Structures are given as structure tokens and as C-alpha cells.
Amino acid sequence: MQEASNLFNRMPERTLISWTILLSGYAKHGPFNETLMLFVDMLCYGLVCPDAFVYAVVLRACAEVKDLSFGCGIHAHVLKRGPGVFDGFVDNALVNMYASCGSLDDAVVVFQGIGSPDLVGWSSMLSGYVKNGFEEEGLRVFLEMICCGVELDAFVFSMAIKGCANLEYLEFGKQIHCHMIKLGFGCCLFLGNSLMDIYAKCGYSEGMKQVFSGMCEKDLISWNTLIMGYVHNSLYVEALRVFRVLIEEVSECDDFTITSSLKAITSLGNLDLGREIHGYIIKVGLESNQYVAGSLLNMYIECANHETLNQRARVPLKLYNYYGGRKFDGYFIASMLKWCSLQSDLETGEVLHSLILKLNLNSDAYVMSSLIDMYSKCGISEAALRVFLRVKEPEIATWSALISGFCLNGWYAEALELFQKMQFDFVEANEFTFTSVLLACLALEDLQKGREMHCKILRSGFGSNVSVVNTLISLYSELWHHKQALKLCSLVSDVEISWKLLLKACMKAKDFEMVHELLGRIQLCYGFIDPYSACDILNSCANPVLLNVGTQVQAYMTKRGLISHSTTGNCLIDMYAECGKIADAELVFNSMPEKNSCSWTSIISAKVNHGRPFEALYLFKDMQRKHNLKMDPSTFKSALNACALMGMTDEAYHLFMSMDKVYGIEPSEEHYSCMVEALGRAGMFEDVQEFINRMPPVKLGALIWKSLLLSCRVHGDIKLAKYALEKLVELDPSDSSVYLMLKQVYLMLGMWDDASKMRVKIEILRTNSSWIEIQNKVYEFVSDQNPTDEVSDKLAEINDKMKETGYIVNRSDLLLMMIEEEEYGGAGLHHTEMKAVAFGLISLPHGMPIRVIKSVRMCGYCHYACKLMSTFVDTEIVIKDPCNFHHFRDGKCSCRDAW
């Protein structure tokens, strides 16, 4: 073009043809601004008048440089010349100029003024819409072209495919593909590459592969599109397989091929394979390419083990030194700063800071935000703030980096203040900013600020952003608003929901029904749950009336491969133990491939709670012999309880003393109360008093005196019971349960007058419940509710059979019964647990165990009645009250009548 311009300048006379040739040359080869300047010179020359072709050439140059103002001037010049200048070239050029400059309304006006637009005019409108982000309008233009019978070309199809790709309209793209084949464009290389791109962006990798396989010819763009398509759809292994085939069969690649392959390796975290690619990069001479160098650096940073500092992990520093004598770009510097952040390498980070100043990169928002992030992750928020204050007109990335850094270092209040200042500076927040600020609200436990932020998020259009929504779910979950957290789930798809957060929130609120509903949704969408979430689900089933749900959950967890995890196995033991299925809990324990300390503690505790103290102590001693298992306070608590149930006071004392001396575990108040219970159950009250007198005062709480009072109730020691009561009243005068226990002592000893005098001191809960599960439905029986005729008949039948055995209710049992809950209809068989048992006998198959949970302690009469019933109902009766599990079979109870 320079030679052409020199010849043009030496011409003694310039004709319209001369000007047109030079203008066309600049419009075709550039620089395009020269076309505009030459046109101005042409007008000033004055000897020639532009024709339609010249106007079209200049308008094409305006479209290339997107100079709308100059283009409008040309349009005005043409209008001034009159209708004679207008022809198809000018009309199409005007449409293309306005569309390319983003002035679509003006493009539409010009297009509508064309009587019969040709393919170029239609193409300009279609291209303008798609390139300016109005893909739906562009596709309407494409359909209108078909309806109007316009003959389509490859460019039109390519723009329509691009529109579908941007919108991810897979079905529309397939129809365009069919229409292309119908019109004979099936073998076009350019369109084949475009089709692969749309199928990749729409997640249809199989269609992308079919297009590639069916192409008559393939160029490097075809191979690159296939590799990047696989990477886009997270099929990294397939992408690398194609890369290997390309290298072996075609022996050709470029920087785009390498960067796509490195991205796949980075996602796989395969450092060894990345080093092989590094060797290939050096072999083909692409190591100096800045895009390849940046991708290679990022691969080493992402794949390195940042918990070690071995030679391999230092490869990024070697790359930095290798490029030391060459020009650094912002991306490379930012990547190195990321490396320093992950390694907390402040020294190298400060060197890079100096380099940034030297290269004058302090106006690069990406570099400065990376520098702020580096100082923040190295724990120097003050330095991060100083860097931020020196940035002129900081962008959102810079604000976000500082706010995130403040949160990382615990400057939560300062992060909120900074966000407020950002609003005053009219900087629009992004998802990263909102996420950081919400985490600050969570850390400060400021629900009010969190709600205000939620409103701001909705106004800013981020109300459905997955990252922001999940952080909001976390905020509401942690701050005891799990129902609000659940409402947010409708804003994102099931596969994007953080199920762990929701399950944790529901467990925190003890909303077990919602936990089970969430599990149903997880099953439907194949959502991800980790072993800890599985534990939450199993813990929600730890109730005798939810045993069927628990077994279904176990089946699902087994199918997902989560049961083999030791944490999940421990929770399964606890679930079966809490459901009264001690045999199943033992089976889970025995089948666990790996048992940790928690596994042993869980099964030992289960054995104790279900009245098997001898087996619990055997397991405890077996656990002691395994040196790789660590004892914890819970293990000793269960062992001490087992000793108490068996009356083994010496063994209990030996274990208690070994906690501190042998295992280094300081006994807690619970352990002291276990010793009080062990001595009290054995009737060794003098030893109990001596033990309490030697206790540290800080451990002498209500739990100790309640244990003593319960022992007095068993042995009828009224004097010591009154002493324990006085101590409990000193600690908590409002606790009516202690008066209730003392009254039970009076009744057991036949001291009716003393018991009646305490009526004014006791606030008895008259309404209580028992529950039983029948065919996945839970039935509740309330104390102030009359049973159905069917249940009443069954109770009468049981009562008659009990009378046949010669059972007579004694006075103390009846009075104890009246304390526990109000009776209806006379005998204690009308207590809630007896109604539930009767309903179970009616509803469950013969021989199936009856499992009932009761809200208050069983009375003495009901306890004896269940023992008697178990001799003739031919099934096991399991009742769980707040004190104990009761397994009734063959006239005996697992609690040994001490509860």
C-alpha cells in the first residue's frame, strides 16, 4: 500500500478511477483509517465527485474501525447528493456500517427503506444482530430470509449457527444443520467447524464428534475445535486422546491446541502428563509464545502440591527465571502472583511488585487485583490496602480482591465498610464481591446486614447466581433460618444446590422431616453428598419410629458407596442403637472393614444403653488391647456406666483413676456422676459421700446430685435424698423434676402424707405422648385423648389376660403412675405407651417387634405390665423413654428394673 500511495501522489492528474483504486486498497488491506483520511482529501481535491462505489468502500472502512460519527457524515453526504447516488452497494454498506457500529435501530430504518433487499443486505442485518448480542432477533431475520425465498450462502449459515451457539439452542441448531445438508452445504469445511462449535457449546459432544468424523476435509481449526469442545464439556481424557492422535497422525499444532490441552491437564491435575507436554512445547519451539507460557505456568501452579516445597513444585519459579530476560505481560505476572499467594511466598511477591512498578503495569486491573490478593493471603492486609489506595479509579476486580482479602484475615467489619464505600463510588458489585460480603455477615452473625445484602443482590440481578445463592443458603442456614434457606433452592437447579449446607441447617433446627424430603430430591437429581452429609441423614433417622426410613437410607447409602466410610459406619451403628436394633448395630460394627476409636465407642455405648453391660465391658477391654486405638472421654463414660449397671464398683474406680494417670484424660462432671451412680446403685452411700467430698468444687454440678438422688430412689434412703434435693434446689430452684424424684422416694417407702405435702411444689406436665410407626406412617397417642374402640377392646383383652395371671396393682405403683402422667379410664393400661402397644398388636404382623417412643419416663405399673405382657403376646416390646431403652421379652426387661 505504501508503494501504491507513492505512485498515486506522483500522478499529475487523478481521476475517479485512481481515487477508487487506492481507497479500495486501503479498505481491503488497511490501515482502514487511511481510507477515511483519503476520502476527505478526495472531497477537498474537488475535481472528482464520488460515486456509489466510493461511498460503499468508505462505509465499509467505517464499519471496520466502528467510526459511527464518520459513517453518519457519509450518510448525510449521500442524502444531500440525492436519490441518484443510492444503489444496492450504498444501501447494503449503510446497513452494514450501522449494524457493525451497534446502531441497530438506524440499520433497521435503512434496511426497511430498501425495496427488495438482496443477500448482502439480509446478511448485514443478521450479522449485526448476532454480533451485538441480539441473537434471537438475528434468528428471526434468518427465518424471514427462508420465508422470503432468499438464496442462502455459507456466511448466512455461519451467523445463524453462531446465534444458536450463543443461546445454546441445540434443537434449532440441529434444524439448521439439516437445512444446510438439504441445500448442499454438508461438505463445507468452514460450516463444519461452526457446527462442531455449536454442538460443543450446547453440551452435545456426541454430535460434535459425528460432525468431525463425517467431514470430507479437516484443517487445524477442526482439530482445535474438537479438543476445545471436549474440554468445554469436561471430557478431559477424550480431549487429550484427540491431541495425541493429532500429534501422531497430523504432526501439526499451534498455540491454541497447546493451551486447550494444558487446560485439560490442569483440570485433571496430572502434573506428570503436563511435564510431557512441556517437553513437547520446547521441541516444537512454542515456549516463547506468551499464551503457551501463561497456560504452562497456570498448569504448574494448579497441579503443584502446595503443602510441599520440593523441586518439582518450584517449576513456576524456573519458568519465571527463564523468561527473566524477555518482556513480561500482565497475565504472566498475575499468574506468578497467584503462585506466591498459594505458597505464601511474600519475598517473591515483593520482587514481582517491584517488577510491576518497573514495567508500569500498575494500571492493569487484573495485575493489581492479583497483587492485592497476594498480600492478603500472605496475611498483610495493611499492604493490600496501601496497594489499593494507590490505584487510580479501581475497577470491580480490585475492590473484590481487597474485600475478599479483608474477610480472609478476619477484618469482617472493615470489609462491610469497604463495600459501602464501593457503593458510594458507584462501582457495581459482582458475584465475588457479594459472596465475600455475605461471608463477612456470616462471620459477624449479623442477620440484619445479611438480609440487607440479600435485597441488594436481588436489585443487582444476582438473585439466581449459583455461587451467591449457595452463600445465601449458608448464611441463613448457619443463623437458624433454614426455612428461608430452603426457599432459595428454587432459584437454582437441583444439581447446583449445596445439599451439605441444607442438610446441616435442617439438622441444626432438628427438622428431620425436611431432611428426609431433601434426601428424596437428592435421589431424583443424583445430587452429590459426602460421607458427612450421609451422617446427618442417618442421624435424622435415629428414632425407633423412623426405623423403616433408616433402613431405606442405609440401602441408598450402600448403593452410593458411602457405607464403607468409617464415619458413616459409626453413624449407622448409632442409628440402629437409637432405633432399638442392637443386633443390627452389632452386625454393622462387625462388618466394617476399618474400625476407628469412634466405632468402638459407638458399639460400647449401644451395648450399655440396651442393658448389655457385660458385653460392653468385654468390648472395652478388647479395645484397650488395640494400641492403635485412642481412648476418648465418651469411651470411659460408657465403660463406667457398664460397671455401674453390673455393680462392679472396684472396676469402676480403677477405670476412673486410670483416665488421668494412664490415658491423660481429665475426668469431667459426667465421669464423676458415673462414679456416684456406680457407688449409689451398690448402696455404698458412705463411700458416695466420701467421694463427693473429695471432688473438685468446679465438677460438683447438678448432674452429681441428680445421680445421687436417683440412687436414693432405688434404695429408699430418704435422709440422703433430702440432702441431694437441698443441693439441687441451691443450684436451680425452678427445676421441678427434682421434687418429682423425691416424691417418688416417699411413695416407694409408703410415706403418703409426705408425698401429698409436696403437691404444691411440683408442676407436672399433664399432656404427653407416645409414638409408633406403622407402614411408614407415625401414629401419636396423647394422654388426654380417648382411644378408639378397637384399641380399647385390645386393652381390655390384655387386661383380662393379665388378671388371669393373678396380677394385682399395688397402691405405690398406682400413685407412681399418677405422677408420671394423668390417667384416663382407670387402670394404667390406658397410658399412652400402652395404647401405642395395643395399636401395634392390632396393626403389625404377628411376631414383628413393637417399637414405641415415649416423651416421659415409664411408670412402675406400665413397666411391670409390659413385662407381664411379654410372656403371652409372643413378640418383643421395645419402649424408649427419656431415661432408658426397655426391651421386654419372656417376662424380663433389659434395664433390670433400674431406670
Task: Please write the tens of the pLDDT for every residue from 855-888.
Answer: 877 877 788 888 888 888 888 899 988 878 888 9
Whether pTM exceeds 0.85? no
In one letter, which amino acid is 476? Y
Q: How confident is the model at residue 743 (pLDDT cuts 50, 70, 90)?
A: low
* 767 phi, psi to nearest 5 deg: -100, 120
Task: Please write the tens of the pLDDT for every residue from 753-762.
Answer: 665 555 544 4
Q: What percent of the chain has pLDDT above 70?
A: 89
Alpha-carbon distance of 403 to 419, in angstroms, equals 7
537: Cβ contacts below 8 Å, ≥ 6 apart: 503, 515, 516, 519, 529, 553, 557
Q: How confident is the model at residue 496 (pLDDT cuts 50, 70, 90)?
A: low
In one letter, which amino acid is 212? F
**Residue carrying the nine cell digits 428394673:** 897
Task: Please write the tens of the pLDDT for every residue from 801-810.
Answer: 888 876 655 5
Q: Residue range 481-496: average pLDDT?
A: 71
Cα 779 off chain centre by: 35
Higher pLDDT pick, 684 / 464: 684
Contact between 375 and 381 (Cβ < 8 Å): yes
Q: How confident is the model at residue 460 (pLDDT cuts 50, 70, 90)?
A: confident
Starting at the edge strand that comes first in sequence, how are the strands of the sheet with 892-893 ordered? 777-782, 769-774, 850-854, 877-880, 885-889, 892-893
Q: What pLDDT, on the 0 to 100 scale, is given for residue 737?
A: 61
318: Cβ contacts below 8 Å, ≥ 6 apart: none
Residues 656, 660, 665, 669: is their CA dihedral positive or negative? Answer: positive
Q: Residue range 229-249: average pLDDT?
A: 90
Residues 339, 294, 371, 348: is their CA dihedral positive or negative? Answer: positive
Mean per-residue pLDDT of the chain? 83
Q: What pLDDT, on the 0 to 100 scale, is given for residue 675?
A: 92
Task: Please write the tens of the pLDDT for every residue from 152-208.
Answer: 888 889 999 999 988 888 899 999 999 988 888 878 888 899 999 999 988 888 999
Q: What pLDDT, on the 0 to 100 scale, is given for residue 705?
A: 84
Task: Please write the tens of the pLDDT for every residue from 79-106.
Answer: 888 776 667 788 888 888 888 888 888 8
DSSP string, 529-588: --HHHHHHHHHHT-SGGGHHHHHHHHHHHHHTT-TTSHHHHHHHHHHHHHTT-HHHHHHH
Q: What pLDDT, on the 0 to 100 scale, is given for residue 811?
A: 46
